[in-house]
Structure 1
């Protein structure tokens, strides 16, 4: 409205100037205040236009700023909402992490306990294995002993033999191994009736006896030998008034396998031979 009035005044001023034409000086001199006023109004109108333009720009910018502010507020709310969600999730995650750490600690504790129990079990197992080995060794030794005992029980060595015949044996010019040809018992077949020699089949302790019957007119001297070593003997002097003599001896011998035992008669000595007197016997007492 102010702008319109200003334009009307400017128009009237222009018309007045045109009508007087040559009387400008007069008009100016007549209305000096009006012209100054009109000039001021014109300047103010220009300023007003500029101000209105700037105002419109400012209002436009203000609207844009308000729109941007609204959008910023909306984005801020969304960001705050997201932040709250993130904080909530973070708290949940931290809680889960704490639970996991607690569970991990419990698991580690259980693991340590399990490892300790495992070590104890392994130690006990080693002790048990050692005891088992000792037991197995003892069992094996016992089994071997049982087998040895059974073997010893199965090994039977018993023999008895007589000179045989029905006449004097001797005297001879040299020492002679007596051969007891009449075999009474020969369990284990360790006695050889062809040579008169007993050969030990297994190591052990053996019991031997030898007896003789003889007339008094010759000396009697018999020796029990082990591998050429004289062990025990029977000795009876000759006698013309004693027509018959009997003698005997016995001994325990520890023999190794293949040791030999036999009876030898001294030179110029004699015994009576038949199936009932003058015998040689032996048996295995215990196996070693």
Structure 2
């Protein structure tokens, strides 16, 4: 009995020692907790505020995400409806295109048939016309020949004009060999009106062969002479140096082939001067 009591006392003592160890350990833990609280205890309220703010932001983002999902769903539904409508329109257009294709093909076939009939009729008419044209061709050729001969007979061109030194016209001395145009202002003859007494220029009205002649008369104080030009290009000229005699006379003649619209006129040599001059020309015969 005593031994059992002693054993119980030893067990109780052992447990008491273990509890003392546990209590010491708890004291150390509490001390550590007190120290940790001293270190972070002042930041607990700030951390709680941050947690609250983060929670609010998360809720706001969640609400926005829900709104975005709703908008996306509505847009998707609208797109689906629009796509369905487009499919219906495309089907209608395809049907209309097929109907038009059938109508156009029928119209083309009818037009082709009509054109073939018209072509046959034109070919028949053309054959009859060719026969009639062959019958009349000889008469037309004769008529054209008569017309050409009549035109040749009526082609009459001839002129003759003179210039005398005066204050009204230029007779020199020339200072520029390209612009010293002599204007023969006194006209004797101008059949066909090819010569212009205002400009001194002869303009061919018909294509043909023409005869031109010119004469110059000057005193010994200046060189006497002139140049006949065609379309501003030199052709033939006269030239007489000053000498011991009191006057000088020069002349020249040329035959030119002109096209309709080409021009002929007389200009002075540079430094030249005349007292009087005659310029004449006429159509020898027209050419085709």
Give the TM-score normalised by structure 2.
0.50
Structure with larger Rg: 1
Give the TM-score normalised by structure 1.
0.50
